[in-house]
Amino acid sequence: MAPPKIGPRGITIEDVQDVATNGSKAGKSQYVYAPPSQSSQAYDPKLLAALMAGQAQPSYGEKYGGFPTRDMLNDAALGYALNIRDIGDYAATEGVRLEAPILKQKQDVYRSATGYDDFATEIAKGRAARDEKLVGAFRSKQMNAVNDFARAKVEAHRQAAVAKYRSDADNEYNTSYDAQVLPYQQIAETIYDTPISQLARQALTTQYGVDANVARATFDEQTDLDYAELQRDAELAAQGIDFSMSEGEIIYNTQGAEAWQVYQDQKTYDAMYGTPAERAKAEQDLIESKNAPIDADILSIYGIAPKEVTNADADTVRAIFTDPDFVAKWVMPSFELLDASNGNYTAAEIAGEQAGAYLEANPNDLLKAKTLAAIIAEFDFRAR
């Protein structure tokens, strides 16, 4: 009895097998699972794309593609697209299934070669130890030299044989992989690389005769986002996560009682002292409240808001303006140079000169030098 169809109308899993096995020569499937061939296949992505698009239905061009409502037509197109993805899953699984025995064969050969390598090494060690005892007692130096040369030659032949053994295994694996596995892998990748929205649009236009612009407006990027969410939810459900559960129930079911207890303790702590985000915000608010009067004074006296100085840390700006000696020696003279320049020097030139002078006097204080330059640029910007 023939196996049932798994794919949607217009394309079946057997059709996919035809593409994988026969390439452009694929014909109508008789639902026969033929054994994989060892010869290289002529995988044809264009033929697969045509199969993915589907054939025109008898109701092609009719209102709603022959369905009672537009919603049913859209559901049919989307269902077709989802079935194509199922066939992509099948092709990927089939590729893995076909690769398993040829990969095992290659690994067995490698293990056999390694075992032979180890065995030969032990034999060589034993012979070397035996020959060492015989040196000077029963053999001449010339004879020992001849034996050393012979052993080296044998070892070279052995290594070459092992290398060829492994090379032949690699070649056999690659040949089998290209013939049996690669076509299914290419089919899966082709399907996976095609967005669900595109597959659904193809179904509307190719099978039911819907205008391409209407199809484009019907299935867009949101279709792909919705599909991605469905996939995510399915993966989580496979892990035992039910979205009707509470957060605590999900943790208990997926991570166990100990993780659930940690979660409960954290909830209790957060209820008493706030969540980490709430505590961080509270700390930042406290810092801001302490800095607010300082910032207000600096703004009222110098016309500069520490938090708005470009390329400068606000705390360093505050430290500079609350240091009377620094202000008197470096900040105010810089502002005076800007006022007196009358356009002969740019703010960047004055900032570079003053920052360089400060850094020369204080070579280990690059941060304040950069901040001084930023303050000069900010002062010039606000003075315009």
d(CA 348, CA 334): 11
In the predicted model, is pLDDT for residue 32 greater than 50? no
**Which stretches of the chain are DSSP H helices?**
13-22, 45-53, 70-134, 141-176, 182-192, 196-202, 208, 212-218, 221-238, 247-255, 257-273, 276-302, 314-321, 324-326, 332-341, 347-361, 366-383
Structure tokens at 63: 């209102």
Q: How far apart are CA 145 and CA 139, in angstroms?
A: 10
Cα 124 to its chain centre, rounded Å, is: 49
In this predicted model, which residue has the larger pLDDT, 365 or 48? Answer: 365
Q: Rounded CA gap, 48 and 277, in Å?
A: 52
State what percent of residues in the chain have pLDDT above 70.
Answer: 74
Q: What is the CA radius of gyration of the chain?
A: 38
Tens of pLDDT, residue by residue over 119-140, are 555 555 555 555 555 455 444 5
What are the Cα distances from residue 189, in Å, to 166, 186, 194? Answer: 30, 5, 9
Contact (CB, 8 A) for 316 and 378: no
Q: Give the 3-state secondary structure of residue 180.
A: helix
What does the pLDDT read at residue 25? 45
Burial class (CB in 10 A: 0-12, 13-18, 19+), 20: buried
Average of per-residue pLDDT across 162-182: 84
**Lookup: tokens for 55:** 């054939």
Residue-level pLDDT at 72: 93
DSSP assigned state of 345: S
Q: What is the mean pLDDT of residues 165-193?
A: 85
CA distances from 236 to 111, 275, 348 (A): 39, 26, 57
Confidence label for 1 from pLDDT (cuts 50, 70 and 90) = very low
Average pLDDT over residues 229-245: 76
Q: Within a 10 A sphere around the Cβ of 213, how many other Cβ atoms?
A: 9
Question: Rounded distance, CA 322 to CA 319, Å?
Answer: 5
Distance (Å, rounded) from C-alpha 90 to C-alpha 84? 10
- Name the 3-class secondary structure at 313: coil
Give the pLDDT band of residue 45 (cuts 50, 70, 90).
Answer: low
Q: How far apart are CA 318 and CA 298, in angstroms?
A: 8
- Global pTM? 0.46
**Residue 43: per-residue pLDDT:** 58
Could you give the CA distance from residue 65 to residue 207 in angstroms, rounded to a whole number? 8
